């Protein structure tokens, strides 16, 4: 990343003006009121036997100059002092967490007022990084109590009694020692869990990235959620590429505006640096997340053929800049034309990235032993991002999501932080490696890209100046795969089997949170209870459930787990189809379950949930070489049978106001063989999309059937709330 420019030493123009004003005023005061004293002082301090160092006619001017310099330095001192005080007050204000729980309280209103008076008008990407609160470490007793509450609905009374006994043993034996390890980390680290989460939740995993990466889909029309207007594939790819690079440049030079909740409360921007020019490199036991400094190229893939494409050029004045969208379109069209006659997909090492991480590490070592392949790997892994020019059009949104997530084996380098996909019908999505970033960041990039993409009347990419007289032709990458083809064949077959097992279903609904808010409940709580009801009706059991909560109010924060399931949610799902319950009982259980969910969600966003703390204690136990029996219970160690997530659809008002399209969401694989992955996205007040995944190998699960029952559950809950 580039260093901060001198102008950024001042948070905004008012600070620079204030500094100048103070300096000038102090200089004027010194020069006008004290120059005689200064003159006498300088004369008195001169060595004995020497004359005053300035001629008589310049004494007064010298005194004024000296006073002016002193005054200016004094002004700088006071500005620095006041600025430090200002930021320290902001730091202390941001530690106040009750604004989420009591947004309308008098205390919170005063807090908002104080913060609004101190926050600078001009803000840059990392303006607030140095004052964000540290991620809190909850007390051991609090976490154990909350953990028991979350698992109680998932186990039998006898199992719960056994777990309670082990929790008590843990708190009296290993627990305090492990808590002390984490407390030491909390004192020495700005976020005690951040690097532990990256390493031991992501990088240490040996499973295929197919099951941890996530995908995004093309934009859709606001009116009816139909596919966006068709453009030339090369034109769409050009605009997608150009504006991704523009976004990267704003991250690199730190001019990207930070996101502020309610236009006031900052969130952490640290992980923007991993969206571009970043690759997850395989390791024998643990992978490595590597970033690259200022690369100038992307990788384009079509029919398995890979090209290194330079995306910068020099204009007629010799200044370097991004190739214009029209120039990029010409390059993409050349690649499309050159590969049109290729009948069969060409083999390349991409398929290795779909496999077990240790296997891929071993195959990569073989590639590195070949000088040609080593150079190719360097180009592929150091690229800003990849662009895959697809050959076949998806038939619907669900099929598009499946292709974006799975690929065909030779058109997704799963290690890469970002791969953009562009189809012949100009639908465009992406595949994101999850270690690098979460869905909210990828969604913000897409908002910027779609909001700024422009086309002329003929459907070509808009051509802003400057143009570049010399544009380097794409460089075709040739691999030496001698001796690797048998393994490539086996890996391809394995990838095809894993991919075909993923059942992806997408829904577009011409209804949204507006109708839910009329029922006077939280739209997110509504959806979570609808998902619980759907699962229970289909499978007659309560699933261990995960929902993502953002913890980016804290420095280096990422996510925490919202545990939707409660005793009230179980009572609600059981009561809905039980004739022995009346409407009042069902409504009571529903409201109690929603209250629990909303409270737990706020706790998770504030670092007061239990999952990350339990995770930290588990990792600390590994470090300490102890094995508490508590961590042997399946209810704690099993993955979530129902994995859910959502994100905002708007991020920057300036960008969203320019956008006449909606994002269509995306998807991810389920965590368990008999589970579901559900991503839902509210689009304005009366639109939404839902992506559902399951595994075809499990006869009990079916994504389309789950979607149908989810619609029924949503209608049933609305009816219950409306007739209360």
Instruction: Identify whether the C-beta of residue 620 lies closer than 8 Å to the C-beta of residue 182.
Output: yes
Degrees (nearest 5) of the Cα angle 687, 689, 694?
160
Look at residues 555, 510, 521, 552 and name the one whose alpha carbon lies nearest to residue 648. 552
* Domain ranges within the chain, ordered by starting residue: 6-123, 140-201+505-722, 209-453+473-500
**CA distances (Å), origin 78, targets 13, 61, 73, 717, 724:** 17, 25, 9, 61, 62
pLDDT at 576: 97
| Cβ burial, residue 595 (10 Å; 0-12/13-18/19+) | middle
Q: What pTM was estimated for this model as a whole?
A: 0.90
Look at residues 684, 683, 688 and name the one whose alpha carbon lies nearest to residue 710. 688
Alpha-carbon span 637 to 151, nearest angstrom: 12
Alpha-carbon span 312 to 295, nearest angstrom: 10
CA 321, 327, 333, 339 dihedral sign is negative
Alpha-carbon span 265 to 689, nearest angstrom: 28
Report the CATH fold assignment for 209-453+473-500. Chloramphenicol Acetyltransferase (3.30.559)
**Same fold for the pair 140-201+505-722 and 209-453+473-500:** yes
pLDDT at 6: 40
Instruction: Identify whether the C-beta of residue 594 lies closer than 8 Å to the C-beta of residue 122.
Output: no
Degrees (nearest 5) of the Cα angle 502, 507, 508?
150
Active site annotation includes 539: no
Q: Which residues pair with 300 in a beta bridge?
A: 307, 387
pLDDT at 317: 83
Count, residues in the chain: 724
Alpha-carbon span 367 to 90, nearest angstrom: 52
In the predicted model, residues of the chain with pLDDT beneath 70 are 1-63, 465-466, 724
Residue given tokens 């219970």 in the structure block: 633
pLDDT at 218: 96
pLDDT at 7: 41
pLDDT at 11: 47
pLDDT tens digits along 79-132 = 888 889 999 999 999 999 999 999 999 999 999 999 999 999 889 999 999 999
Catalytic residue among 35, 386, 403, 434: 434
**CA distances (Å), origin 587, targets 422, 572, 573, 590:** 47, 8, 11, 5
Alpha-carbon span 526 to 591, nearest angstrom: 10
CATH for 140-201+505-722, among 3.20.20.100, 3.30.559.10, 3.40.50.720, 3.40.50.2300?
Answer: 3.30.559.10
């Amino acid at each position: 990343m580039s260093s901060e420019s001198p102008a950024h030493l001042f948070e905004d123009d008012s600070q620079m003006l204030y500094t100048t004003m103070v300096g000038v005023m102090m200089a004027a005061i010194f020069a006008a009121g004290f120059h005689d004293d200064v003159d006498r002082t300088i004369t008195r301090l001169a060595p004995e036997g020497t004359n005053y160092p300035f001629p008589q006619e310049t004494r007064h001017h010298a005194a004024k100059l000296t006073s002016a310099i002193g005054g200016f330095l004094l002004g700088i001192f006071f500005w620095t002092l006041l600025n430090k005080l200002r930021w320290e007050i902001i730091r202390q204000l941001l530690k106040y967490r009750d604004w989420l729980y009591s947004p309308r309280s008098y205390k919170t209103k005063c807090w908002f007022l104080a913060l609004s008076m101190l926050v600078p008008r001009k803000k840059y990407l990392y303006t607030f990084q140095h004052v964000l609160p540290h991620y809190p470490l909850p007390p051991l007793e609090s976490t154990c109590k909350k953990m028991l509450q979350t698992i109680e609905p998932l186990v039998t009374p006898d199992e719960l009694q056994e777990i309670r006994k082990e929790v008590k043993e843990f708190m009296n034996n290993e627990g305090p020692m492990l808590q002390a390890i984490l407390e030491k980390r909390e004192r020495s680290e700005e976020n005690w869990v951040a690097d532990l989460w990256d390493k031991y939740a992501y990088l240490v995993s040996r499973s295929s990235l197919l099951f941890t990466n996530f995908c995004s889909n093309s934009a859709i029309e606001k009116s009816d959620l139909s596919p966006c207007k068709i453009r030339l594939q090369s034109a769409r790819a050009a605009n997608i590429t150009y504006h991704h690079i523009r976004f990267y440049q704003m991250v690199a030079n730190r001019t990207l505006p930070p996101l502020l909740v309610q236009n006031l409360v900052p969130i952490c921007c640290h992980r923007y640096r991993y969206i571009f020019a970043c690759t997850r490199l395989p390791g024998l036991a643990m992978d490595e997340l590597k970033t690259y400094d200022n690369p100038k190229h992307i990788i384009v893939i079509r029919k398995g053929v890979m090209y290194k494409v330079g995306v910068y050029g020099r204009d007629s004045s010799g200044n370097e800049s991004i190739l214009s969208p029209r120039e990029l379109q010409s390059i993409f069209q050349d690649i499309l034309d050159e590969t049109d006659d290729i009948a069969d997909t060409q083999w390349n090492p991409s398929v290795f990235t779909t496999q077990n991480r240790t296997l891929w590490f071993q195959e990569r070592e073989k590639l590195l032993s070949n000088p040609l392949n080593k150079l190719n790997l360097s180009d592929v892994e150091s690229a800003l991002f990849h662009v895959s020019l697809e050959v076949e059009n998806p038939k619907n949104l669900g099929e598009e999501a499946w292709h974006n997530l799975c690929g065909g084996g030779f058109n997704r380098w799963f290690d890469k932080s970002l791969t953009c996909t562009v189809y012949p019908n100009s639908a465009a999505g992406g595949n994101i490696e999850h270690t690098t970033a979460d869905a909210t960041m990828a969604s913000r990039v897409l908002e910027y890209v779609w909001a700024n993409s422009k086309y002329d009347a003929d459907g070509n990419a808009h051509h802003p100046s400057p143009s570049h007289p010399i544009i380097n032709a794409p460089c075709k990458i040739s691999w030496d795969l001698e001796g690797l083809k048998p393994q490539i064949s086996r890996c391809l077959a394995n990838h095809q089997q894993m991919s075909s097992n993923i059942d992806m279903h997408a829904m577009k609904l011409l209804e949204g949170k507006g109708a839910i808010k009329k029922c006077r409940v939280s739209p997110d709580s509504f959806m979570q209870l609808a998902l619980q009801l759907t699962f229970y009706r289909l499978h007659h059991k309560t699933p261990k459930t995960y929902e993502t909560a953002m913890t980016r109010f804290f420095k280096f924060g990422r996510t925490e787990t919202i545990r939707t399931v409660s005793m009230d949610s179980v009572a609600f799902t059981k009561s809905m189809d039980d004739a022995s319950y009346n409407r009042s009982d069902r409504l009571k259980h529903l409201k109690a379950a929603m209250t629990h969910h909303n409270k737990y969600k706020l706790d998770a966003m504030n670092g007061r949930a239990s999952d990350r703390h339990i995770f930290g204690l588990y990792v600390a136990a590994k470090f300490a070489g102890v094995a508490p029996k508590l961590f042997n219970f399946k209810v704690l160690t099993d993955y979530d049978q129902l994995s859910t997530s959502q994100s905002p659809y708007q991020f920057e008002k300036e960008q969203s106001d320019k956008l006449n399209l909606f994002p269509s969401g995306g998807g991810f694989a389920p965590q368990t063989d008999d589970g579901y992955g559900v991503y839902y996205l509210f689009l304005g007040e009366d639109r939404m999309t839902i992506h559902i995944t399951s595994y075809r190998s499990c006869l009990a699960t079916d994504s389309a059937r789950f979607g149908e029952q989810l619609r029924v559950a949503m209608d049933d809950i609305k009816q219950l709330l409306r007739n209360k």
